[in-house]
Amino acid sequence: MNDMDQRKLLSLLCHGSIFFSSLVVSIAIPIVIFLVTEDSVVKENAKEALNFHICLYIYGVICLILTVVIIGIPLLIILGLVSLIMSIIALVKVLENPNQPYRYPFIFRVL
């Protein structure tokens, strides 16, 4: 496997990890890839995927709090759809241009 294929595969795993599970596995995969790889593009993709997961959890907690007001349930549904759509867009963008890390729009970067 050459470097470009490895870069694509690891970047896809970072952004696609949200489809494996919504709890521990989805965060563990980008963390492990970030710690193991030495490729700067893959590290940036892993960091961005982690930031996306952190934002989704924060937004999810906010929606759960708003569920008391009844507005949270539609927001949770929208949040679920956005997480799926944004992850698919990230996968496509990483496949199109593996030399540039994908940056999710509308999230704050903790890492």
pLDDT in tens, 70-107: 776 788 888 889 999 999 999 999 999 989 999 998 88
- Whether 48 is covered by a domain: the verdict is yes
- How far is the C-alpha of 39 from the C-alpha of 33, rounded, in Å? 10
- How far is the C-alpha of 42 from the C-alpha of 15, rounded, in Å? 10
Segment holding 21, helix H or strand E:
none
- Whether 111 is covered by a domain: the verdict is no
Long-range contacts from 34-43, C-beta under 8 angstroms, 24+ separation: 37/10, 39/3, 39/6, 39/7, 39/10, 41/7, 41/11, 41/98, 41/99, 41/100, 41/101, 42/7, 42/10, 42/11, 42/14
- Whether 84 is covered by a domain: the verdict is yes
pLDDT score recorded for residue 1: 66
**What pTM did the predictor assign?**
0.84
Residues spanned by the domain of 23:
3-96
- Whether 109 is covered by a domain: the verdict is no
- Whether 56 is covered by a domain: the verdict is yes
- Whether 110 is covered by a domain: the verdict is no
Number of domains comprising the chain? 1
Q: Kindly report, residue by residue over 31-50, the tens digit of the pLDDT.
A: 999 999 999 999 999 999 99
